[in-house]
Amino acid sequence: MKNRFLFLLLTLGLLVAASKPASRPTLYLIGDSTVRNGSGKGADRMWGWGSFLAEHFDTTRIAVRNHAIGGRSSRTFLTEGRWDKILSQLKPGDFVMMQFGHNDNGPLADTARARGTLKGIGEESEEIYNPITKKREVVHTYGWYMRKYVKEAKAKGATPIVLSLVPRNQWQNGKIIRGTGSYGTWAADVAKAENAYFIDLNEIVAKKYDALGDETKLKATYFVEDHTHTNEAGAKLNAESVIEGLRGLKKCSLNKYVKK
């Protein structure tokens, strides 16, 4: 009788467990204002592409969380503890899209931002006094920070996807200036070295910008007052470009959550 009772309890437990819906995976977005501007609600007509990415996914099957924040570099997104908060929630089956570079070219230790990183993807570092945090800090290369995000995401069982930064409205010889030779190339190099997925968002978007012909037309169509921040139409174009790049990653399981 006792064994039969235990068997019934075990069976009931298994049935209850089976009836619970499986936890949805989450796609986390990390980056700067070109991914999420301000609170992500279009202040001053500026939008990041991350505000429109969820529209392309079946959100009954996957959650999309935009943790990007304006003004951050690959360094300060980490040092402010923002990555650690995501890591504490990251679980097997999740995804992380990362796009940094626009703010990494700044000074290492100025009193305004102190957000710059060393150029390249090497292991070089420089110890500085950070006048904002009022602490000593070891600053690394752009590639070092990107590798850290990729490795730690993988260690949690998540899938990292590295993106090259969206291009600015800057032209040379009738073409949008690409990110080749700097952050766009370095992002690709990190992804290749770490066997991570890579979307060349810089090139995908640049080709679409080129088609408009010049800086004035591009600004009127997709940008606001500066050459970096997009309006709603520009952000939507960039979100569509992210999906275009994702579809090219045939083996990436994130594709199964994209709307048909």
Residues involved in catalysis: 33, 226, 229
Q: Hey, how many other C-beta atoms are within 10 angstroms of the C-beta on 128?
A: 16
CA 169 to centroid of chain Cα atoms: 20
Task: Measure the CA–CA gap between 240 and 65, rounded to whole angstroms.
Answer: 17
Q: Of 82, 103, 95, which Cα lies nearest the Cα of 183?
A: 103
Phi and psi at residue 162, to the nearest 5°: -90, 135
Taking the CA atoms of residue 86, residue 87, residue 91 and residue 95 in that order, the dihedral angle to the nearest 10 degrees is 60
- Which tokens hold the place of 194? 């770490």
Maximum C-alpha span of the chain: 86
Bridge partners (DSSP) of residue 222 are: none
Bridge partners (DSSP) of residue 136 are: 129
CA-only gyration radius of the chain, Å: 21
- Which tokens hold the place of 166? 């969206």
DSSP per position, 114-178: ----BSSSSS-EEEEEETTTTEEEEEEBHHHHHHHHHHHHHHTT-EEEEEPPPPPS-EETTEEPP
Task: Measure the CA–CA gap between 113 and 231, rounded to whole angstroms.
Answer: 25
